[in-house]
Amino acid sequence: MILHKGEVLFHQGDSGEFLYHIKSGLFKVTRLHENGNIVLFNILYPGETVPHHSLISQKETHGTATAVIRSEIEIISAKEWYRELKENPDRPLEVARLLQEKVRFMQQRLDHLTVGTPAERLELLIKWLDDYSQGLHLTELLTQEEIGQLIGVRRETVNRLLRGQH
């Protein structure tokens, strides 16, 4: 399946009857909170199978995944995925590897959040996304508000930092 920028892979609260393997592209995952705030809390990239919290057992989706660039996805039946987990002794180790890779990614993101200045955090985010962005600039992928959420600063600070780059 091909999704283009702005198209939704799954919505917050979906039942979880499918998992998705990202072959190419990028997705931002946002969560709508009860108070109306929408927060960007994850970036999905090629090689991942998602939702992560449903790799071992089915659960409704925690957020909404929206393509930020053209993306290719393999749709996987959750029933088939879980049956394979039970029947194939190698599958649980594959799932453990997938989860390990995501934990390592999250550790890297946390490291980026604890690095010195906001400018340094922005630079690390740009460098990381360059591997997946198909040549697009950060601001073509994410809003200033979303960039701020990823690097732990306000939108106004992102605006100032981006102006300083040019």
Query: What is the DSSP pairing of strand 18-24 with strand 49-50?
Result: antiparallel
User: Global pTM?
Assistant: 0.89
Q: What is the pLDDT of residues 109-147, one digit of tens each?
A: 888 888 889 999 999 999 988 888 888 889 999 999 999
Q: What is the pLDDT of residues 10-47, one digit of tens each?
A: 999 999 999 999 999 999 999 999 999 999 989 999 99
The residues pairing with 65 across neighbouring beta strands, listed in sequence order, are 10, 29
113 vs 151: CA distance, rounded Å:
6
Interior CA angle at 43 toward 42 and 44, to 5°?
120
Q: Looking at the predicted structure, is the pLDDT value of residue 97 above 90? A: yes
76 vs 85: CA distance, rounded Å:
13
Confidence of residue 166 (pLDDT cuts 50, 70, 90): low
